[in-house]
Amino acid sequence: MKILVLNCGSSSIKFQLIETDIELIESNTDRCIAKGSVERIGTDEATLKVTVPPNPTISVTEEILDHQAALTRAIATLKDCHAVADITQIQAVGHRVVHGGEHFSASVVIDDKVEEEIQNCVELAPLHNPHNLRGYFVARKVMPQVPQVAVFDTAFHQTMPGHAFMYGLPYSYYRRYHIRRYGFHGTSHRYVAFRYRKIFDKKREEANLITAHLGNGCSMTAIEKGRSIDTSMGFTPQEGLLMGTRCGDIDPAALFYIMSKDELTLHDMSTLLNKFCGLYGISGESNDMRELITASAKGDEQAKLAIEVFCYRIKKYIGAYSASLGHVDGLVFTGGIGENSPAIRALACEGLGEMGIQIDPDRNASMVGKEGEISTDASRIRVMVIPTNEELLIARDTFRAVRGIPNPH
């Protein structure tokens, strides 16, 4: 089945055309036929990029005034590049939807009821859900006969028990405003956990895992027998690890103190927390880990400190989630930093030998952007690098939801 995976933002659409079915999933040979993006939608300088491997990327800049025009143009280009013979070959659309609240614990075919529930979650993710929904409306117009499926970033974490998702606020805030830990990056954590079990031929019940998605946004998850039992992001993607531009865990009273000292508004504070903290904030120069590693090697003390805070936070969560799980079989690194940076993985795992984590320096150094083990043979916990593939999991979920096949993850 050819599935179009859409990730819709305020002025962009990212897409992948993926071929999948039961046999291809089983043999891990389902594949991306084409991928691309339309950016700066709403301007006369929108950029459409399409790659149909092995051909080089096509890039055009032109006027594209809304998301419907963008999707229509993207599909026409897929046809021009022979990725599809015509639009009817696209048999389903899978949408990345950031927030499913407490309502969605799995991917679902979108109907009027589901649409309403996603709408109800807009308050929880005002920067994302409206655009994800727009993707659905537009795809429905362009391909009215085609089933559409919502795959939620939060769904995987709905198995967290109350003691992991409740904050120490008055209970009424949970009841009235649904304030609790939701967690994000669920599709990525679920994908790498699934791959880990495939690689080691384990059933869900046979693997307790800690997964670390380290990209521009970062989160870690404790997975017990295939179920998320705790995760580091919270009510919003602000909590937990240090990130590119977000500070992660912080004493909330420090924020009031800054607001009163610098006379900041709520809006100012929100901008500060989203754009100027984390690696960028501490280093004072960049949110890009590659630049910080280079700067640190040249003696830049703030870049070095930013890296140390980043890795120490990961180590703390490894400790916390080891306690939550009781027994850990595997630790998985993924995301741009997790997949590509031996130095960060080594620093985050330094001194964890007593806890059963021993990194093999040669394996670690060679595992860049590919799947494989980086722990020593003697390490009790298998430490893995597994490149994430959220689009592939969205396509697989879409296929199963459309066919009514239960999800084995």
Q: How far is the CB of 277 from ligand AMP (least distance, A)?
A: 14
Q: Which residue has the tokens 């998850």?
A: 221
Q: Does 216 bind ligand AMP (CB under 6 A)?
A: yes
Q: Which residues pair with 260 in a beta bridge?
A: none
CB 167, min distance to ligand AMP, A: 27
Q: Is 288 in the site for ligand AMP (CB under 6 A)?
A: yes
Q: Which is nearer to ligand AMP, 35 or 180 (CB)?
A: 35
Report if residue 289 touches ligand AMP, rule: CB under 6 A.
yes
Question: Closest by alpha carbon to 167, among 152, 177, 153?
Answer: 177
Q: Is 188 in the site for ligand AMP (CB under 6 A)?
A: no
Which neighbouring-strand residues pair with 334? 213
| 208 contact partners, CB below 8 Å, separation of at least 6 | 222, 223, 224, 225, 325, 326, 327, 328, 329, 330
List all residues 6 or more positions away from 120 whose beta carbon is below 8 Å from its beta carbon.
Answer: 101, 103
Closer to ligand AMP at the Cβ: 29 or 294? 294
Least Å from the CB of residue 291 to ligand AMP:
7
> Per CB under 6 A, does 115 bind ligand AMP?
no
> What does the alpha-carbon distance between residue 95 and residue 9 come to, in Å, rounded to a whole number?
11
Distance CA 101, CA 104 (A): 7
CB of 204 to ligand AMP, least distance (A): 26
DSSP 239: S
Interatomic CA distance for residues 18 and 84, integer angstroms:
11
Residue 216 beta carbon to ligand AMP: minimum distance, rounded to whole angstroms: 4
CA end-to-end span of the chain:
20
Regarding 367 and contact with ligand AMP (CB under 6 A), the answer is: no
Q: Which range in 92-100, 264-272, 288-296, 389-397 contacts ligand AMP by CB under 6 A?
A: 288-296
Among the listed ranges 116-124, 169-177, 285-293, 306-314, the one in contact with ligand AMP (CB under 6 A) is 285-293
Task: State the binding string over 311-350 for ligand AMP (x if CB under 6 A, else -).
Answer: ------------------------xxx--xx---------
**Range list of H helices, 251-288:** 252-262, 266-275, 278-283
Question: Quick check: is 153 catalytic?
Answer: yes
Tokens of 155: 């769904």
Calpha distance 32→49 (Å, rounded):
15
Comparing every residue's Cβ against ligand AMP, the nearest one is: 336
Active-site choice (153, 230, 300, 397): 153
Inter-axis angle of helices 342-349 and 289-297, to 10 degrees? 80
Q: How many residues bind ligand AMP (CB under 6 A)?
A: 12
Phi, psi for 101 (deg, rounded to 5): 55, -145
Stretch that binds ligand AMP, among 48-56, 164-172, 289-297, 313-321 (CB under 6 A): 289-297
Using CB under 6 A as the binding rule, whether residue 237 contacts ligand AMP is answered as: no
CB 190 → ligand AMP: shortest distance, Å?
16
Residue 20 within binding range of ligand AMP, rule CB under 6 A: no
Please report whether residue 244 would count as binding ligand AMP according to CB under 6 A. Answer: yes
Q: Give me the residues that bind ligand AMP (CB under 6 A), please.
A: 215-216, 244, 288-290, 293, 335-337, 340-341
Catalytic residues: 153
